[in-house]
Amino acid sequence: MTHRRKFLKSIALLGVAVTLPVQKLFAQNMGITPRPVGAGTSTISYRTAIHPVRKPPRNITIPDVGEFKVLKGDFHMHSLFSDGHVMPKDRVIEAVDNGLDVISITDHIEYRPNIGSRAIQLAENDDHNRSYDFARAEAENSNVILVRGTEITKPMWHFNAIFVQDINAIAAVVDDWEKMLAVSVKQGGFNFWNHPSWIDRAPDTPPFGLKTGEPMRFHAEIDEASKKGLLHGIEVFNGTSYYPIALDWCNERNLVPVTVTDIHQSDWNTYGNQNPLRPMSLILAKDRSYESVKEAFFAGRIVGWAANMVLGRQPWVEQLFKSSVEIEKTNNGLALRSLSDIPCFIQADGKSYPLATLGATATIPCTPKLTVSNWFIGMKQPLEITM
């Protein structure tokens, strides 16, 4: 009987251990203290423990450039209404998180696998304006300027048309990309050539494919469209790709350099949370409105910022720098102070002086010329400031 009593006593003690509240054991192991309850008959909330601490939206400091406010935008984005991975309103939410003021969701006209087919003709019940319509309420509630846009998707090249009124009218002439650009222009749209090295990835597609090592080209057809007034800009940075020669093309042909993400997956999966290297276009606008953003595009007051580089045409890049960096003469030389979140790397007298963060300072010898080595106004042309 002694052995039996010991056995039963062991079983009883084990039963007590097993019936300890499961949530208590879980909490102890995880270092979490749940809300105390009675006999386990109530719901226990682990919301505080499980939910991450949400970071506030990214705040980007860039001073006004003269009379212009500097707005932040992305004008090449995709949603589930073409080949993107998120709903249109999610692009608005991501924009707020990244400190953007204005976006355009530019879903493909010709390629929309998520809707069911690679449709070329516009079906009777099809509506290419849907991604804009789905995002509009979220944009209004979030104070994000939403620009209606689309991507014209052809085998040899792609274009974005933004500030358009009705994408269905553009899709109605889908067999002719020049007519599509013309319909956009008639609606007041701004057209730009997307990822100009895209055809490098299709070297067996005559006559547009490039041989390995062959330089990018400004094609005769693109040049003709530009001369007809059907093309207004070129992407100089797309996603993670930089096209230095596109800056020269913009300078030579009076086109606007555009910097975009061309994002398909979620922002988190593409760039991570509030990545300061994430591409964006800086719009020098008269005020924070749709009309001012559109006016700035057609006036060419657009500067790109991506991967710690600034990319644009000389007048606006120089004015942006002069607003972003305070320079004072002192007895020791020149005192520099960053007024912006945009990093600047200054070269003078053979030395480099980083102004990588807002408020950063540097003292350099007096010099007749500063070179901003990460701000570009041409393919091999960093910005130079004459003192």
Q: Tens digits of per-residue pLDDT, 349-368?
A: 889 999 999 999 999 998 88
- Smallest Cα–Cα separation from 253: which of 283, 235, 233, 238? 233
**Inside any domain, residue 38:** yes
If 0-12 CB within 10 Å is exposed, 13-18 middle and 19+ buried, where does residue 263 land?
A: buried
**Inside any domain, residue 2:** no
| Same domain, residue pair 29 and 121 | no
Residue 124: its pLDDT value, please? Answer: 41
| Same domain, residue pair 172 and 95 | yes
Residue 145: its pLDDT value, please? Answer: 98
Token readout for 349 is: 């007298």
Q: Which residues of 53-65 are buried (b: 16+ CB within 10 A; e: fewer)?
A: eeeeebebebeeb
Q: Return the sign of the alpha-carbon dihedral for residues 377, 374, 317, 77.
A: positive
**Inside any domain, residue 11:** no
**Inside any domain, residue 177:** yes
Nearest-angstrom CA–CA distance, 178 and 301 = 26
**Sequential DSSP letters for 104-122:** EE--BSS-BGGGTB---S-
Contact assessment for residue 105 and residue 80, using Cβ atoms and an 8 Å cutoff: no
Residue 113: its pLDDT value, please? Answer: 81
Residue 204: its pLDDT value, please? Answer: 43
| Same domain, residue pair 341 and 226 | no
| Same domain, residue pair 225 and 331 | no
**Inside any domain, residue 342:** yes
Number of domains the chain contains: 3
| Same domain, residue pair 73 and 217 | yes
Residue 262: its pLDDT value, please? Answer: 97
Cis peptide bond prior to 56, omega within 30° of 0: no
The list of the chain residues with pLDDT below 70 reads 1-40, 116-125, 199-214
| Same domain, residue pair 93 and 174 | yes
Instruction: Give SS3 for 41.
Output: coil
Q: What's the first-to-final CA gap in the chain, in angstroms?
A: 102
Domain range for 288: 69-312
For residue 18, the tally of other CB atoms under 10 A from its CB is 8
Nearest-angstrom CA–CA distance, 126 and 137 = 21
Model-level pTM? 0.86
| Same domain, residue pair 47 and 79 | no
Residue 376: its pLDDT value, please? Answer: 98
| Same domain, residue pair 270 and 169 | yes
- Smallest Cα–Cα separation from 281: which of 244, 253, 320? 320
Q: Are strands 333-338 and 381-386 parallel, antiparallel or unpaired?
A: unpaired
| Same domain, residue pair 73 and 40 | no
DSSP bridge pairs for 153: 158
Residue 198: its pLDDT value, please? Answer: 76
Residue 28: its pLDDT value, please? Answer: 52
